[in-house]
């Protein structure tokens, strides 16, 4: 028997006011108790019969206990996220209400959508092996504490998606959610990561056996506010602030950014907000009804307004875009022109570190760049382009 006596007593206490949760339905009426699961139905039970029937429906009972007594937090993002982790039906997933993201697409069987949720028996089977989900570069596993004789109690493991096949012995193991802050601060090259959702989270660590509350706290230290905004989207009340609203709200040194031209906002989104730079799914547009062409990405958590990095960069681009264009003349061979393009590509793609020392066939190779500078720059370090318009 896996249903603890305490669980039964709690359940009987609650039964008087009726229970309907995850397929478990208990009601008390003048005829006694009725108990219903998707597989069975009992009616007219006295208390002893109900106890015996509940023992036969033990998975539903321990599942009820875990969610209703242990996790609680009805209506919170924390609870919804933990439900999502084990592919449980999401009470909040009103796809009719959702205006953005996977929730707004009906019947597609999207990995993130509520449609492919698991009922209790299937979930209990899967939780014995562990159910894996991806949240940006995080891999979350929900599993039973006791696999042999599950009492419904879940724990959660968390590591980098790149470590999915790593031996846990090779990973640095943590158990305090706050450790995630430090792990998220630097990339593999030791550079500061001001944007937490940049796809540069280093691997090599693991959080194991976290409680549900600690899991959510840890995820929120890696990717702040992503759970809350995902939940809002799920409930159809994600408050998207488009570019113009965000820009017009700014004051001080950022007051100018609403002057950034429409086409520059497009280039900015393409430069900063695609998946290769940020894992949030951009839901903000130029303004309501005026969408940007740049790919917003397809990650699970939405981006509801331009972030502080975009705002700060926009200030620079606003200044740069206020300059007048000119026509310049300079001498270059066709290969040198191509090389300039290769150089820009290499920096834009963050590829410069990968270019081999002696790979002089790559236009962004350091020797190639130094050669071009030696040949084309004048004594003042300028490219020597002549402005030919007035």
Partner 1 sequence: MQALVIAAHGSHLNPDASDPTYAHADTIRETGAFDEVREAFWKEEPHFREVIRTLESDEVFVVPLFISEGYFTEEVIPRELRFEDWDPDKWESDGTSASQATVEAEDVGKTIHYCGPVGTHDAMTDVIVQRAETATEDPDVGEGFGLSVVGHGTDRNENSAKAIEYHSDRIAERDRFDEVKALFMDEEPEVDDVTDYFESEDIVVVPLFIADGYHTQEDIPEDMGLTEDYRLGWDVPADVDGHRVWYTGAVGTEDLMADVVLERAADAGADIGDAREAVRELAASVADPEPSAGAGAGD
- Judged by CB under 8 A, the residue of 15, 34, 78, 131 near partner 1 is 78
- Judged by CB under 8 A, the residue of 62, 112, 229, 318 near partner 1 is 229
The number of angstroms, rounded, from the C-alpha of 25 to the middle of its chain's C-alpha atoms is: 34
**Closest CA relative to residue 12, chosen from 32, 26, 29:** 26
Instruction: Kindly state the smallest distance separating residue 219's Cβ from partner 1, in Å.
Output: 11
- For residue 320, state whether it binds partner 1 (rule: CB under 8 A): no
Rounded to whole angstroms, the Cα distance separating 356 from 363 reads: 11
Instruction: Kindly state the smallest distance separating residue 264's Cβ from partner 1, in Å.
Output: 20
Instruction: Kindly state the smallest distance separating residue 226's Cβ from partner 1, in Å.
Output: 9
Q: Which is nearer to partner 1, 86 or 305 (CB)?
A: 305
Helix 308-321 to helix 262-272 angle (10° resolution) is 130
- For residue 76, state whether it binds partner 1 (rule: CB under 8 A): yes
Q: Which is nearer to partner 1, 309 or 340 (CB)?
A: 309
- For residue 312, state whether it binds partner 1 (rule: CB under 8 A): yes
- Return the range that interacts with partner 1 (CB under 8 A); candidates 133-141, 161-169, 226-234, 382-390: 226-234
Instruction: Kindly state the smallest distance separating residue 194's Cβ from partner 1, in Å.
Output: 4
Residue 264 CB-density burial (10 A; 0-12 exposed, 13-18 middle, 19+ buried)? middle
- For residue 73, state whether it binds partner 1 (rule: CB under 8 A): yes
Instruction: Kindly state the smallest distance separating residue 76's Cβ from partner 1, in Å.
Output: 6
Q: Show the site string, 145-184: x = touches partner 1 by CB under 8 A, - = not.
A: ---------------------------------x--x---
Q: Which is nearer to partner 1, 43 or 237 (CB)?
A: 237
- Return the range that interacts with partner 1 (CB under 8 A); candidates 102-110, 129-137, 225-233, 344-352: 225-233
- For residue 204, state whether it binds partner 1 (rule: CB under 8 A): no
Rounded to whole angstroms, the Cα distance separating 340 from 332 reads: 10
> DSSP code of 168?
G
Contact 206, 159 (CB under 8 A): yes
φ, ψ at 272 (rounded to 5°): -110, -30
Q: Which is nearer to partner 1, 76 or 352 (CB)?
A: 76
Rounded to whole angstroms, the Cα distance separating 80 from 98 reads: 15
For 191-196, the CB contacts below 8 A with 24+ separation are 194/309, 195/278, 195/307, 195/309, 196/222, 196/223, 196/224
The number of angstroms, rounded, from the C-alpha of 260 to the middle of its chain's C-alpha atoms is: 29
Per rule CB under 8 A, count of chain residues that contact partner 1: 29
- For residue 115, state whether it binds partner 1 (rule: CB under 8 A): no
Site for partner 1 in 242-301 (CB under 8 A): 249, 251-252
Contact 72, 26 (CB under 8 A): no
For 9-13, the CB contacts below 8 A with 24+ separation are 10/65, 10/69, 11/54, 11/61, 11/64, 11/65, 12/47, 12/50, 12/51
186 DSSP β-pair partners: 192
Q: Which is nearer to partner 1, 23 or 236 (CB)?
A: 236
**143 to 114, 209, 214, 222, 327: CA distances (angstroms):** 20, 9, 15, 21, 64
- For residue 192, state whether it binds partner 1 (rule: CB under 8 A): yes
- For residue 185, state whether it binds partner 1 (rule: CB under 8 A): yes
- For residue 305, state whether it binds partner 1 (rule: CB under 8 A): yes
Q: Return residues touching partner 1 (CB under 8 A).
A: 73, 76-78, 178, 181, 185-186, 192, 194-196, 220, 224-225, 227-229, 232, 239, 249, 251-252, 304-305, 307-309, 312
């Amino acid at each position: 028997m896996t249903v603890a006596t305490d669980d039964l007593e709690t359940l009987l206490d609650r039964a008087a006011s009726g229970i309907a949760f995850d397929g478990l339905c208990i009601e008390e009426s003048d005829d006694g108790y009725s108990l219903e699961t998707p597989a069975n139905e009992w009616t007219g039970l006295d208390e002893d019969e109900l106890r015996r029937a509940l023992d036969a429906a033990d998975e539903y009972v321990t599942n009820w206990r875990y969610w209703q007594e242990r996790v609680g937090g009805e209506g919170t993002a924390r609870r919804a996220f933990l439900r999502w982790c084990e592919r449980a039906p999401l009470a909040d997933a009103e796809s009719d209400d959702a205006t953005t993201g996977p929730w707004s697409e009906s019947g597609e069987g999207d990995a993130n959508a509520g449609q492919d949720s698991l009922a209790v028996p299937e979930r209990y089977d899967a939780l014995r092996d562990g159910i894996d989900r991806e949240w940006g570069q995080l891999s979350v596993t929900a599993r039973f504490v006791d696999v042999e004789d599950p009492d419904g109690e879940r724990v959660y493991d968390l590591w980098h998606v790149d470590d999915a096949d790593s031996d846990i012995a090779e990973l640095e193991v943590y158990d305090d959610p706050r450790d995630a802050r430090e792990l998220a601060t630097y990339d593999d090259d030791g550079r500061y990561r001001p944007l937490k959702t940049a796809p540069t989270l280093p691997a090599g660590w693991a959080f194991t056996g976290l409680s549900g509350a600690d899991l959510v706290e840890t995820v929120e230290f890696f990717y702040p506010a992503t759970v809350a905004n995902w939940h809002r989207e799920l409930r159809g009340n994600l408050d998207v602030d488009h570019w113009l609203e965000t820009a017009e709200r700014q004051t001080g040194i950022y007051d100018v950014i609403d002057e950034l031209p429409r086409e520059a906002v497009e280039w900015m989104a393409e430069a900063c907000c695609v998946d290769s730079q940020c894992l949030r799914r951009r839901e903000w547009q130029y303004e309501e009804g005026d969408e940007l062409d740049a790919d917003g990405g397809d990650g699970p958590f939405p981006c509801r307004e331009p972030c502080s990095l975009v705002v700060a960069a926009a200030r620079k681009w606003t200044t740069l875009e206020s300059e007048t264009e000119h026509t310049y003349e300079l001498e270059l061979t066709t290969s040198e022109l191509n090389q300039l393009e290769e150089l820009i590509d290499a920096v834009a793609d963050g590829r410069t570190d990968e270019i081999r020392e002696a790979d002089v066939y790559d236009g962004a190779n350091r020797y190639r760049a130094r050669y071009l500078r030696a040949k084309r720059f004048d004594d003042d370090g300028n490219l020597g382009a002549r402005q030919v318009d007035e």
